């Protein structure tokens, strides 16, 4: 661990690289982007990246592991804050996921698109983090809708992720608050259908 991810000073070169790499990978796919391009995006050229990362794979790995960890950490925080109120928890999970999806659209895209390009070890780690995050949601959903059995709740959670993660593909004139509001309503509308 070099520096904390939450600061307000200028972004380090490393962070610039990660940010631009995320954007480019999301736009044209991992294999569709060359290291020279990533370098150019931060003002250095090609092999200069190797002063900061052992390879192209490592950038993707760090991005995907990072997203998954932040999602899970955020989810756990909300569980802890919810004090056992299922409705409040699910609301907080939805809001948190929306914030994340709208803040980091490129990362969301990468998250379900480029997982297979990782080395076995990294892929396992990301999958494990994703699984735990889903688990959080499944438990929250089932607490609120006991009528739904486990596989049903799990599929519904995946579907709601698909709904919320649709925003990167979208070029809409809607202002951010309106979009947040809309997504929240859609998500809760979908989940409400589990009540029977």
Partner DNA sequence: GCCGTACGTTAACGCTCATTAACCGGACAA
Partner DNA sequence: TTGTCCGGTTAATGAGCGTTAACGTACGGC
Positions touching a second copy (CB under 8 A) are 27-32, 112-114, 116-117, 151-152, 154-156, 158-167, 169-170, 172-174, 178-179, 182-183, 185-194
75 within 8 A of 136, measured Cβ to Cβ = yes
178 binds, among DNA, a second copy, none (CB under 5 to 8 A by kind): a second copy
28 binds, among a second copy, DNA, none (CB under 5 to 8 A by kind): a second copy
Q: Which residue has the tokens 């989810």?
A: 75
Between the two ends of the chain, the Cα-to-Cα distance in Å is: 48
Report what 174 binds from a second copy, DNA, none; CB cut-off 5-8 Å by kind. Answer: a second copy
- Closest by CA to 190, choosing from 111, 90, 105, is 90
Q: Which residue has the tokens 């809309």?
A: 182
By the 8 A CB rule, do 161 and 100 touch?
A: no
- Give the nearest distance from C-beta 18 to a second copy in angstroms: 21
Give the Å distances, CA to CA, from 43 to 36, 49, 189.
10, 11, 46
117 in contact with DNA (CB under 7 A): no
User: Does 51 help bind DNA (rule: CB under 7 A)?
Assistant: yes
Sign of CA dihedral 73, 78, 83, 87: negative
Q: Is residue 33 a contact residue for DNA (CB under 7 A)?
A: yes
The only residue of 7, 11, 36, 147 in contact with DNA, by rule CB under 7 A: 36
Instruction: Choose the contact partner of 179 out of DNA, a second copy, none; CB within 5 to 8 A by kind.
Output: a second copy
């Amino acid at each position: 661990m070099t520096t904390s991810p939450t600061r307000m000073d200028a972004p380090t070169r490393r962070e610039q690289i990660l940010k631009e790499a995320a954007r480019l990978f999301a736009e044209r796919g991992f294999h569709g982007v060359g290291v020279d391009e990533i370098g150019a995006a931060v003002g250095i050229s090609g092999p200069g990246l190797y002063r900061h990362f052992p390879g192209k794979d490592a950038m993707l790995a760090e991005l995907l592991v990072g997203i998954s960890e932040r999602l899970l950490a955020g989810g756990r925080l909300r569980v802890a804050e919810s004090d056992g109120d299922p409705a409040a928890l699910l609301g907080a999970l939805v809001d948190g996921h929306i914030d994340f999806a709208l803040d980091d659209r490129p990362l969301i895209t990468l998250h379900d698109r480029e997982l297979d390009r990782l080395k076995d070890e990294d892929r396992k780690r990301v999958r494990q983090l994703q699984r735990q995050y889903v688990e959080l949601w499944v438990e929250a959903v089932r607490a609120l809708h006991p009528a739904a059995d486990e596989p049903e709740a799990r599929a519904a959670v995946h579907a709601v992720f698909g709904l919320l993660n649709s925003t990167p593909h979208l070029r809409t004139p809607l202002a951010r608050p309106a979009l947040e509001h809309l997504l929240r309503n859609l998500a809760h509308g979908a989940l409400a259908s589990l009540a029977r």
